[in-house]
Amino acid sequence: MRIEINLLPWREGRRERRRRRWRVMLLGALLIGVAAGYAVERYYAARLDAQQRRHALIERHAEALKPAVLAVERQQARVDELKRRQAALRKRLDRRTDILNTFNGLVATRVEGVRYSALEQREGLLMLHGSVDSHRRIAAQLQALETSPIFEAPSLSEVEPLSRGWRFRLSVVQAGQGGDSS
């Protein structure tokens, strides 16, 4: 004799409990995943919002500084213009100093009785035109120019008699200019 035990309802119950437990776990995992996804999205949205606020603050500060930057740029352009003008003025003053040194040298070396009537300057060479009372004074003038630290190589190029005295032309090289004497 055989006893038959039917375990089918028991197995069905166990299978149903397992299925319910699996569905609850699946639903829990789904809810946890959705909650985690929502939390991550909220975290990144908050960070993005904070970054956008920082950018907006920086842009407001940059807009506030634009007039100051433009003022600095205008000031820099003005400084550059003033530097350019200062360099041009220095150049003029240096030229003026050279001219003053030339005239001061001529005054310092002028012998009494010598009168200059014209002065030409070409590349460091001075051509002097004038009149004098005697030949001795022309020689003394040439000697004074020779001993001057400002002039070099005086050269008498022409002497013409006048009704009273002599007309002369002479040329000198300005020291450090390196012109040709004629």
pLDDT, tens digit, for every residue of 126-172?
Answer: 888 888 888 788 888 788 888 888 778 887 778 888 888 878 888 88
Judge whether residue 180 has pLDDT over 50. no
The kind and range of the H/E element at 169 are strand 166-174
- Residue 155: domain span: 110-174
pTM of the model: 0.46
Judge whether residue 182 has pLDDT over 70. no
**130 assigned to some structural domain:** yes
Share of the chain above pLDDT 70, in %: 94
Strands 166-174 and 151-161: antiparallel
pLDDT of residue 82: 96
**35 assigned to some structural domain:** no
User: 15, exposed or middle or buried, with CB in 10 Å at 0-12, 13-18, 19+?
Assistant: exposed
What's the whole-number mean pLDDT along residues 2-16? 78
**160 assigned to some structural domain:** yes
pLDDT of residue 12: 83
Domain total in the chain: 1
**168 assigned to some structural domain:** yes
The kind and range of the H/E element at 98 are helix 8-109
Judge whether residue 58 has pLDDT over 90. yes
CATH number, position 145: 3.30.1360.100
What are the pLDDT digits (tens) for 95-105?
777 777 777 77
For CA atoms 137, 143, 148, 152, the dihedral sign is: positive
User: 167, exposed or middle or buried, with CB in 10 Å at 0-12, 13-18, 19+?
Assistant: middle
Is 166 in contact with 178 (CB distance < 8 Å)? no
Contacts of 56 (CB under 8 A, 6+ apart): none
**139 assigned to some structural domain:** yes
**16 assigned to some structural domain:** no
